[in-house]
Chain A
Amino acid sequence: MKYDLISPRSKDELLSEIKTRQGTPFRFVAGNTDLLLEIKKSKPTDLSLINLGLLDLPEMRSIQIENNGLRIGSLVTAAQLVDHDELGKRLPLLKKAAHSVASPQIREVATLGGNLCTASPAGDMSCALVALEAVIEILSDSGDLRTLPIGDFFHGVRKTDLKENEVLYSIWIPTQKIEGRIVSDFVKIGIRKSMEISIVALAYQFQLDSSGNIQKSGLALGSVAAVIPFAKSACQCLEGKNFNSIDEDTKQEFLGKVMEYAAPISDVRASAWYRTQVLSNITKAIFE
């Protein structure tokens, strides 16, 4: 196993390194929590690693609060998300998802960008971002930024829309003025309380007006399909309904729609049967 490690300090250095590496095998690395395990297995011999860990680039490292949303740099760690008070108030779902990642030590180094770029259906923070309909902001080696909805970012297990000359820059999460309250949760089903990979995960956020009517809803499913699905039709069937008095037929319709997005597999962690059962049970529990 041999690899080069390049640690750009500035944006210009980063862009120039990306340019130089075109056509040769290279990877970005930030927190090292996933990638190190991967290269220990794959034993690459001619790989370059562009280490983003020493980049002095505030846009990639900070959480910026704006009126209509939050912008989170791709190098922001899970611990930063957990500790940020304003983020916790406006996006309790993301805070909880970040808090469910691994352990305190790993959260200290694991980045939001790394979680997204790993493109695992079990990515906890990724699942929350899908429910929140985040927008992905991507920087190319020419210095241009392009944006795309998170739904278009994931192409499959470990596959994203990133081109060879691009790096994940930041994540934009649109938020609305809160009139009523936010009902949200990140439900992670696993065996241990920490150091766990989701067997099934459910991320949801309902934004209610002052009388309890659902203004906006988002729901995403982890570990039940190759790509984390946003359960759009399920969300649609709740639109305009009052969260506190949803009738049985609607609940059933909602459950049916959610389950349409699940196509779980059986693996060493759980069977498809179990994933289906649990997803159905925890979806029902949203309204309990």
Chain B
Amino acid sequence: MENKLKVIGKPMIKLDAKKRTNGKAIYGQDIMLPGMLYGGILRTKHPVAKILSINTDKAKALPGVKTIITADDVNVNLTSYRRDHPILKKGRVNCIRDEIVAVAATSPEILAEALDLIEVEYEIEEGIYDPFEALKDETRQINDYIDGTQKNKNISASFHYDHGDLELLKKESSVIINRRYTLPFVTHCCMGTTSVTADYLQADGTLTLHSATQVPFLFQRDLAHAVKMEPSKIRIMQPVIGGGFGSKLDMHPFEPICVLLSMKSGQPVQLTYNREEEFLASPTRQPMVIDLSTGADKEGKFTFREVNITMDNGAYTSWGSTTPFVMMQTYSSLYQVEACKFDATAVYTNNPYSGSFRGYGNPQATFSIERNIDLMAKELGMSSDEMRLKNANFKGEITGQKLEYKTCGHPDALKLVIDKSSYTQKRGQKESGRYRKGIGIASMLHVGGGAKIYRSDGCGTTVKLDDYGYLTIITGSTEIGQGSETVLAMIAAEELGIEMQKIKVINTDSDVKPWDVGVHASRTSFVAGNSLLGAMNILKEKLIVQAKKDMGTGDEPLEFLEGSIQSSSGKVIKIDKLVRNMHFKGNELCSASYFYEPPSKFADKDFKGDISGNYAFAAQTIEVEVDTYTGNVKVLDIHMSQDVGRVLNPLGLDGQIHGGIATGIGYALTEELKIVDGRVLNPNFHDYKMLTACDMPNIEFHPVESLDEAGPYGSKGVGEAPLIPTAAAIANAVSNALNIEITSLPITPENVLRAIQEQTK
């Protein structure tokens, strides 16, 4: 196959690159519908309070205000992953995002004025912002909408997993390291702020929703439940999406609110966040406290991991509460480990609620494990790279959690970055003076072939070839900037032997496209790619049948080449000619449909099972220079190796690597949504320190191609992996430079300076 590939593996500029860079992409806020109103939300002034009264009289009297709704005006269901979240709040507010009143007006200016005119009287109450405080018996119940099935009134979800004989392996350990790790709130910072446009037609009870959701079909179902409609009467149209990263995996209250405003006003309504609202009201990565105990025997083989994780769920529950599904894979199966005991609890607090975010718990888990490995190696007097190689995962391994590594680039990825970065030599250098260099290593494991969490992890595809030889791919999958449209077009071009310019990808209309579970879990190239391949096989078979008929060839092999089908005896016929013959002579259109469901299995009740089609591995070595006068950490060089199965589009892959690492460096060093007593203190880019292009280091990428047969052309999912080991590797590098402990993120200049000072005491 290697020699034959003509498109796959060659750098390809994204299909939508020109549209995006020329300002022609239509994002949510660019949509203008006739008679459209502007919707907005009045949120609470206080994180926790009783609502004593709401007075909207002055706002209603303002010319241009069309509709005002409160919880009393709507007939709706509870929303969220646990159905613990009212769309509009009454009686009491529980976190600073809480929505109390919504307004639709004829202009954004009138809307802003109307929101200012609404008067809400509060009786302020004490909030509970610390998960450990929330778990105490004497603490009141935070979320009033839950049924109390968990063992504690303030637990939203809890997970337990184990394998192996933990107590025995503890006894056999020569070294045991116990640490508590603390991880902050961070948020996605999508460049496109949130925007939704609802167009409800009172005449026939149908709704068209222009929504940047990552999961159109789950969203359709959730929204239908929320506003009491039939799912099929809701058409989801996805505009160009200005960033997802997991933030659009849940339906959030602003979406049904926009729908309700449209239902009540009978006009289309658009609701757009400004940047401040984006920071206040978007989901965050789970803040966590991780108590981790790990052991190794005298040879440095890992013996056990025991972990207890307390996650801040916030006031309501999102899909993000299921991040322990992913974390437990990392604790049980990243490196070989004989015994593992895992407990994770999502605890309600009055903080803003967290959601899902690229990596889905894995950056936190990997940070804790990779820190502990360095500490164990140090204690045993062993080199940190040797210890990792000794315990690396391997091809054919079936882990304690029953993940099956049919291919495994873990050892190769580790060896590549160790070698290319001169890790061993740099690691041993003693540093002194103002600027001190250090190097760190970390690796990661993540699903690479989807993740069987929902009832189906599949994707549908329809392909049609027109009379002129152009192919349209109608895919259930969603483009959020990751480059899936381009990869799908490349696959089709490869299979059909036609030019990229003759391929169109349709993927934005739920009334047109077949079902797909959504864009998440690094799954799109794998699942949508396989689905497309299934459809292409049917289409190709149709063309072959027609070609045999038209060319009069028997069983001789046929090949798709340069827009034609060619026989081994040298007969050639153009594909468009075949389609026309099929259409005008055979009364048949050249199209095909296919639904692909990955071969992965559901985890059993003990969370064991081979839940992904394959598994991705990556390793990073990162060199840093620390300014001991200021505490600033400068990232110098990053070597990144990833088992991607096969490189599909090197250019797109490079984009994923750079983007992931940028998020990873931010998580390691600079980003934190500062939330004190339930309030967000830095809802702007001045004080939320997302990195800019100037801060990016040199990145050397070394792909590992393990050619896993489950994926398209042997590929694996790549999207989340690049950011997962970054914070861990940076923490290990800073620790190496200064010989200090790092147990929390971000590693701010102030924290570094304090650690240096404590060290010299």
Q: Is the CB of B750 within 8 A of A271?
A: yes
Q: Mark each residue of chain A from 66 to 89: 1 if its CB lies under 8 Å from any CB of chain B, else 0.
A: 000000000000000000000000
Residues of B within 8 A of A195 (CB): 685-686, 692
Residue on B nearest A283 in the bound complex, by CB: B629
Bound complex: CA of A103 vs CA of B109, how far in Å? 30
Please give the distance in Å from A1's CB to the nearest CB on chain B.
Answer: 7
- Cβ of B689 within 8 Å of any chain A Cβ, yes or no, is yes
Q: Given A278-B630, A282-B630, is A191 in contact with B670 using a C-beta cutoff of 8 Å? A: yes
Residue on A nearest B757 in the bound complex, by CB: A277
Interface centre among B112, B632, B749, B753 (most CB of A within 10 A): B749
Q: Is the CB of B670 within 8 A of A268?
A: no
Q: Given A268-B682, A270-B750, A281-B629, is A191 in contact with B689 using a C-beta cutoff of 8 Å? A: yes
Please give the distance in Å from A12's CB to the nearest CB on chain B.
Answer: 34
Please give the distance in Å from A237's CB to the nearest CB on chain B.
Answer: 22
Q: Mark each residue of chain B from 686 to 709: 1 if its CB lies under 8 Å from any CB of chain A, else 0.
A: 110101101100000000000000
Dominant secondary structure of chain A at its interface with chain B: loop
Residues of A within 8 A of B757 (CB): 277
Q: Given A103-B692, A281-B630, A282-B629, is A197 in contact with B686 using a C-beta cutoff of 8 Å? A: yes
- Cβ of B17 within 8 Å of any chain A Cβ, yes or no, is no
Residues of B within 8 A of A284 (CB): 629
Q: Is the CB of A268 within 8 A of B681?
A: yes
Please give the distance in Å from B103's CB to the nearest CB on chain A.
Answer: 16
Identify which of B109, B116, B631, B689 contacts A192 (C-beta below 8 A).
Answer: B689
Residue on B nearest A284 in the bound complex, by CB: B629
Q: Is the CB of B692 within 8 A of A191?
A: no
Bound complex: CA of A126 vs CA of B630, how far in Å? 22
Q: Is the CB of B692 within 8 A of A278?
A: no
Bound complex: CA of A282 vs CA of B628, how far in Å? 10
- Cβ of B434 within 8 Å of any chain A Cβ, yes or no, is yes
Q: Mark each residue of chain B from 28 to 71: 1 if its CB lies under 8 Å from any CB of chain A, else 0.
A: 00000000000000000000000000000000000000000000
Residue on B nearest A197 in the bound complex, by CB: B686
Q: Is the CB of A194 within 8 A of B692?
A: yes
Bound complex: CA of A191 vs CA of B633, how far in Å? 9
Residues of A within 8 A of B691 (CB): 192
Residues of A within 8 A of B434 (CB): 285, 288
Please give the distance in Å from A158's CB to the nearest CB on chain B.
Answer: 16
A-contacting residues, B642-693, CB 8 Å: 669-670, 674, 681-682, 685-687, 689, 691-692
Bound complex: CA of A273 vs CA of B687, how far in Å? 19
Q: Given A281-B629, A285-B629, is A274 in contact with B750 using a C-beta cutoff of 8 Å? A: yes
Bound complex: CA of A282 vs CA of B753, how far in Å? 13
A-contacting residues, B106-131, CB 8 Å: 109, 112, 116
- Cβ of A189 within 8 Å of any chain B Cβ, yes or no, is yes
Bound complex: CA of A43 vs CA of B749, how far in Å? 35
Q: Mark each residue of chain A from 99 to 114: 1 if its CB lies under 8 Å from any CB of chain B, else 0.
A: 0000100000000000
Bound complex: CA of A194 vs CA of B750, how far in Å? 19
B-contacting residues, A244-288, CB 8 Å: 268-271, 273-274, 277-278, 281-282, 284-285, 288
Q: How large is the interface on B (under 10, 10 to 19, 20 to 34, 35 or more residues)?
A: 20 to 34
Residue on A nearest B671 in the bound complex, by CB: A191
Residues of B within 8 A of A163 (CB): none
- Cβ of B383 within 8 Å of any chain A Cβ, yes or no, is no
- Cβ of A177 within 8 Å of any chain B Cβ, yes or no, is no
Please give the distance in Å from A165's CB to the nearest CB on chain B.
Answer: 32
Q: Given A274-B749, A278-B630, A278-B753, is A1 in contact with B109 using a C-beta cutoff of 8 Å? A: yes
Residues of B within 8 A of A193 (CB): 692, 694-695
Q: Is the CB of A1 within 8 A of B112?
A: yes
Residues of B within 8 A of A43 (CB): 112, 116
Bound complex: CA of A240 vs CA of B748, how far in Å? 40
A-contacting residues, B705-761, CB 8 Å: 748-750, 753, 757
Bound complex: CA of A143 vs CA of B748, how far in Å? 51
Please give the distance in Å from B636's CB to the nearest CB on chain A.
Answer: 14
Q: Is the CB of A268 within 8 A of B687?
A: yes
Q: Given A1-B109, A43-B116, A285-B434, is A191 in contact with B749 using a C-beta cutoff of 8 Å? A: yes
Bound complex: CA of A234 vs CA of B632, how far in Å? 27
Residues of B within 8 A of A274 (CB): 631, 749-750, 753
Residue on A nearest B670 in the bound complex, by CB: A191
Q: Given A268-B674, A277-B753, is A192 in contact with B694 using a C-beta cutoff of 8 Å? A: yes
Residue on A nearest B746 in the bound complex, by CB: A191
Please give the distance in Å from A120's CB to the nearest CB on chain B.
Answer: 12
Please give the distance in Å from A48's CB to the nearest CB on chain B.
Answer: 18
Residue on A nearest B688 in the bound complex, by CB: A268
Please give the distance in Å from B277's CB to the nearest CB on chain A.
Answer: 12
Residue on B nearest A199 in the bound complex, by CB: B749
Bound complex: CA of A274 vs CA of B754, how far in Å? 8
Q: Mark each residue of chain A from 121 to 163: 1 if its CB lies under 8 Å from any CB of chain B, else 0.
A: 0000000000000000000000000000000000000000000
Q: Mark each residue of chain A from 39 to 51: 1 if its CB lies under 8 Å from any CB of chain B, else 0.
A: 0000100000000
Residues of A within 8 A of B629 (CB): 278, 281-282, 284-285
Residue on A nearest B113 in the bound complex, by CB: A1
Bound complex: CA of A160 vs CA of B630, how far in Å? 31
Residues of A within 8 A of B631 (CB): 274, 278
Please give the distance in Å from B634's CB to the nearest CB on chain A.
Answer: 9
Please give the distance in Å from B377's CB to the nearest CB on chain A.
Answer: 31
Bound complex: CA of A193 vs CA of B687, how far in Å? 14
Please give the distance in Å from A90's CB to the nearest CB on chain B.
Answer: 27
Identify which of A192, A194, A271, A278 contacts B670 (C-beta below 8 A).
Answer: A192
Bound complex: CA of A69 vs CA of B632, how far in Å? 37
Residue on B nearest A103 in the bound complex, by CB: B692
Bound complex: CA of A119 vs CA of B53, how far in Å? 41
Q: Mark each residue of chain A from 17 to 57: 1 if its CB lies under 8 Å from any CB of chain B, else 0.
A: 00000000000000000000000000100000000000000
Bound complex: CA of A33 vs CA of B533, how far in Å? 51
Q: Is the CB of A189 within 8 A of B692?
A: no
Identify which of B116, B687, B694 contacts A194 (C-beta below 8 A).
Answer: B694
Please give the distance in Å from A115's CB to the nearest CB on chain B.
Answer: 15
Please give the distance in Å from B327's CB to the nearest CB on chain A.
Answer: 28
A-contacting residues, B606-631, CB 8 Å: 629-631
Residue on B nearest A196 in the bound complex, by CB: B689
Please give the distance in Å from B755's CB to the nearest CB on chain A.
Answer: 12
Please give the distance in Å from A43's CB to the nearest CB on chain B.
Answer: 7
Please give the distance in Å from A258's CB to the nearest CB on chain B.
Answer: 15
Residues of A within 8 A of B116 (CB): 43
Interface centre among A1, A103, A192 (most CB of B within 10 A): A192
Bound complex: CA of A288 vs CA of B687, how far in Å? 32
Bound complex: CA of A287 vs CA of B549, how far in Å? 88
Q: Is the CB of A189 within 8 A of B630?
A: yes
Residues of B within 8 A of A103 (CB): 692
Residues of A within 8 A of B686 (CB): 195, 197
Residues of B within 8 A of A285 (CB): 434, 629
Residues of A within 8 A of B681 (CB): 268
Residue on A nearest B749 in the bound complex, by CB: A191
Residue on B nearest A195 in the bound complex, by CB: B692
Please give the distance in Å from A62's CB to the nearest CB on chain B.
Answer: 30
Please give the distance in Å from A38's CB to the nearest CB on chain B.
Answer: 13
Residues of A within 8 A of B674 (CB): 268
Bound complex: CA of A268 vs CA of B363, how far in Å? 25
Bound complex: CA of A193 vs CA of B665, how far in Å? 14
Residues of B within 8 A of A270 (CB): 749-750
Bound complex: CA of A161 vs CA of B631, how far in Å? 37
Q: Would you list 30 pairs from A and B whose C-beta atoms are within 8 A, ordered by A residue?
A: A1-B109, A1-B112, A103-B692, A189-B632, A191-B689, A191-B749, A192-B691, A192-B692, A192-B694, A192-B695, A193-B692, A194-B692, A194-B695, A197-B687, A199-B749, A268-B682, A268-B687, A269-B687, A270-B750, A271-B750, A274-B753, A277-B753, A278-B629, A278-B631, A278-B749, A278-B753, A281-B629, A281-B630, A285-B629, A288-B434
Additional A-B contacts beyond A194-B694, A197-B686, A271-B750 (15; CB < 8 A)? A191-B632, A191-B689, A192-B691, A192-B695, A193-B694, A194-B695, A195-B686, A195-B692, A199-B749, A270-B750, A273-B750, A277-B753, A281-B629, A284-B629, A285-B629
